[in-house]
Structure 1
């Protein structure tokens, strides 16, 4: 990875530290701006061959013989939790970051994304789309997981992240609309994040007025012992009520 150098990068470091304050402080650890010798380029980390190794290790937490596509989907959720929240906080805070896979890297232990540079707003979104596309295509090539599942996983996490940010940062609303409610990307191509999330009004006592639901299942239930996630399109009112009651007992 070619690291950005010079005074401009130092300004970006200062601005990032000012963004990750208070309730956002813990998210800052997911980003790094100083390259290290053993950093792994994103394009290498997400190669089909490397994905197979990642999934071999990750899959050990599930029963032997578990569906490789379901393992890949769950692994992608873990990867996305390291990729999405911190850069979205930075972007809403006025520091758009370049997530282009050919310019960034990961720490050797995958604990942080190593940034190649700061970016302009539209370029930051283009980098995010390119990164998500590489992830989706790599998992498809390694496990035949449908790319729409990865895009759905990303849209679900983006929705949750930006919803929380909207409460404290109004620019998050425009970002959510651009990423999730617009049929075209800024470059005019189709937006795979569009229309991935819908809102259900159960109209039943004991449930929220509106419940977030994906349009595409994450297929985690293909693994023995894994329940449907709370935003699964297979969830019914009865299942939601059952989960609410179970959570109440656990509390």
Structure 2
């Protein structure tokens, strides 16, 4: 390539096996020419806090800043984590994704696509520390600290959402001996990679062997609630919400009926 030529952007779905391509459509290596929406430096998202919260407030009809921000970050993580897992687990390659080097495309205040540097995909490696470090340390750590501080939300709430998503994916869609080894590394270490910090993902999900009736056993529970129940009209707790253990039998039965109505089972 001529030194004056601009590197070509590629959708990460082009690099993923066909079965995983649909999970990678919203991640790009390089900034697409036909940018749709507003391009924002990911490291400066907190400066756009009011726009982000307004988008969720319109969708939900109200709610506290903390609950709205938690749900907005959930959407962001749904865009970020699947392709990062495909790279780490399926391709066995890390994605270099320092927050300062990433650009987020917003449409009406909601995350639409994330753009990494063109050469973000690293070399194949068996070491989980290398495959997950940039995602966790270079991207999620500053992102969560920044966004949580913007609305005085505990970072532990957002780390709980991260851990819930990662643990579920590694134990279901990516289930294998290698995936279990990755999960053991991510959730079983007290130290957070090589940072000297306590691991915010340590045992972030647990399985409750003797849950109250009528809940099934073992009951998979995340560490903290994502605060969705604080939004107007949101009555159904997610199936891994720790608040389920605080309900009496009648309230639990009501929850199961509400979930059956909302999700068909």
TM range (shorter): 0.7 to 0.9
Check if 1:99 corresponds to 2:108.
no
| Residue aligning to 2:173 | 165
CA distance in 1, matches of 2:252, 2:16: 36
CA-CA distance at 1:40 after TM superposition: 2.9
Report the CA distance shift for 1:203/1:35 in structure 2 as closer, same or farther (over 3 A). Answer: closer
Contact kept? 1:35, 1:114, Cα under 8 Å: yes
Check if 1:89 corresponds to 2:86.
yes
Report the CA distance shift for 1:161/1:123 in structure 2 as closer, same or farther (over 3 A). Answer: same
Q: Summarize deviations over 1:108-147 as a string: whole Å, max 9, x none.
A: 5432221221236535423222322222222232211111
CA distance in 2, matches of 1:246, 1:55: 27
Contact kept? 1:230, 1:240, Cα under 8 Å: no
Report the CA distance shift for 1:141/1:209 in structure 2 as closer, same or farther (over 3 A). Answer: closer
Contact kept? 1:20, 1:26, Cα under 8 Å: no
TM-score when scaled to structure 1? 0.81
Query: Which 5+ residue runs of structure 1 have no aligned equivalent?
Result: none
Higher alpha-carbon deviation: 198-207 or 109-118:
198-207
Of the three residues 242, 257, 261, the one matched with 1:233 is: 242
CA distance in 1, matches of 2:81, 2:239: 20
CA distance in 1, matches of 2:252, 2:105: 39
CA-CA distance at 1:73 after TM superposition: 0.9
Query: Which 5+ residue runs of structure 2 have no aligned equivalent?
Result: 1-5
Higher alpha-carbon deviation: 106-115 or 48-57:
106-115
Higher alpha-carbon deviation: 189-198 or 111-120:
111-120
| Residue aligning to 1:42 | 42
| Residue aligning to 1:126 | 133
| Residue aligning to 1:71 | 68
The CA RMSD over aligned residues, in Å, is 2.9
CA distance in 1, matches of 2:133, 2:198: 12
| Residue aligning to 2:3 | none
- Aligned residue-pair number: 238
Contact kept? 1:98, 1:118, Cα under 8 Å: yes
Of the three residues 159, 184, 188, the one matched with 1:151 is: 159
TM-score when scaled to structure 2? 0.77
CA-CA distance at 1:51 after TM superposition: 2.4
Of the three residues 163, 179, 190, the one matched with 2:186 is: 179
Residue aligned with 1:119, SS: coil
CA distance in 1, matches of 2:12, 2:28: 13
